[in-house]
Structure 1
């Protein structure tokens, strides 16, 4: 993925190695579709790259959320199913290789259906938290 979205991958790796995501909750969960998290510490800003490359043809794609072509600071999401309609709208920067079933189960836990008082819509009432982020080099 580092060839597909080099800036996003480099920024995410640097932030994760600095512990920016350790202890972060998955603050948004749409059952069977996606879970979304944000950095708890500074340094999690991820650039948006809309590049031809890997899209959302497989579940477990990790991407930078964007609104109007601008990345949402410090956030990323993981798809739980193939979602090709997201291609070109969000920068895919990696994939979950272990634990996707856990994220899918977490997406189905009780959550807020609507935003209230600034809270995210689809915010889990008892969110799953990221213990730590690890990286694997794969061919």
Structure 2
């Protein structure tokens, strides 16, 4: 699980490891890696189909059999900054597709609006291809991702039970 250049999330449900695709999305990988290294995601809440970042924040939305999303310190779906400033450009690779569960991608609000938010797919999501930068995959802990994706949500797709990212760390 501890592969050089990877990112590890220790959550209240278990541990998730991410392999980063530095050759395909160098800026997105560096952003995620540095935010994890700086503790940006520590203490944040993640549940059901959304993991959330920033200190002690709640997940915003959850979508059963779709994704878990996180990385917004405001827990509104509109917050979070990248290491480059507010937003940075997409790094879409035609070779990478949202073909199944465990794909790590940048969440955004349109072209070139990447910040700190990310998502992990729970199923194939081909309609996201070409719209979201894929920058890695879950390399260990897919059972944790699946359990997180099964947390019950309310009518607004917000998790009823928080899953907390206790600590994010990097393997150097």
Match of 2:158 in 1: 123
**Equivalent pair of 1:22/1:40 in contact (CA under 8 Å):** no
In structure 1, how many angstroms separate the alpha carbons of the residues matched to 2:91 and 2:167?
25
Length, aligned pairs only: 130
Is 1:133 the counterpart of 2:143 in the alignment? no
Q: Give the alignment's TM-score, normalised by structure 1.
A: 0.79
RMSD: 2.5
Q: In proportion to residue count, which structure has more strand?
A: 2
In structure 1, how many angstroms separate the alpha carbons of the residues matched to 2:167 and 2:97?
25
In structure 2, how many angstroms separate the alpha carbons of the residues matched to 1:89 and 1:108?
25
- How far 1:58 moved relative to its partner? 3.1
Q: Give the alignment's TM-score, normalised by structure 2.
A: 0.65
Give 3-state SS (helix, strand or coil) of 2:27's partner. Answer: helix
Gaps of 5+ in 1: 115-121
Match of 1:14 in 2: 34
Highest relative contact order (Cα 8 Å, sep 6+), 1 or 2?
A: 2
